[in-house]
Homo-oligomer: A and B are copies of this chain.
Amino acid sequence: MRRSSAETKAVILAAARERFAADGYDKATIRAIAADARIDPAMVMRYFGTKEKLFAAAAEFDLELPALAPDQAGAGLVRHFLRKWEADEGLQVLLRTGVTNEAAAERMRTIFAGQVMPLVVDLTGDPERAPVRASLIASQVLGLALSRYILKFPPMVAATEEELIAWLSPTVQRYLTE
């Protein structure tokens, strides 16, 4: 088949995101990604140069944290993260990969420091303890994703969005305000 350069690049990127999210960095083969995109592996190299650069492109994403009223920030954050995890493969890519790949771990730290922490500073007006608060929130939100989407603990998978929000909101709210 014959496609435009931009189209092909997009198709490869979509396939790469899926594979990285499902299998992690090492198991997501360039050959497998190329097969998903119905394309020769050499095309992946032509368009992205190297596997690492392809990964960097696939792992690019924005948390898009919304502005929140301080007294409802707990519930708002939990809801927002739950939807992000299900809608955007970027987060699963990073979580699956950050555990065994230092570059991906560094990117998670950057996203945390650049997006979560500023929001917490803004919500609490307490720059000194904001880093601890933010990392506690991250620990609970990441733990949720880990047990629900990666390890698939049955009770976590079975729970509805509303149930999880009800359980986790007070935790996040307390990490913000106590």
Contact = CB atoms under 8 A, between A and B. Distances in A.
A147 B153 contact: no
A151 to B, nearest CB: 5
Contacts of A140: 139-140, 143, 171
Q: How many monomers of this protein are in the complex? A: 2
A158 to B, nearest CB: 8
A80 interface: no
Contacts of A175: 167
A170 interface: yes
B154 A109 contact: yes
A24 B96 CA distance: 12
Interface string A137-174: 01111111011101111111001000100011011001
Contact of A139 (B26, B138, B143): B143
Contacts of A174: 170-171
Q: Which 10 A-B pairs have the closest CB atoms?
A: A143-B143, A24-B100, A139-B143, A131-B155, A135-B155, A139-B147, A99-B99, A135-B153, A135-B156, A26-B26
13 contacts: A23-B100, A24-B99, A96-B99, A96-B100, A109-B152, A135-B154, A138-B153, A139-B153, A140-B171, A143-B143, A143-B144, A146-B146, A167-B175
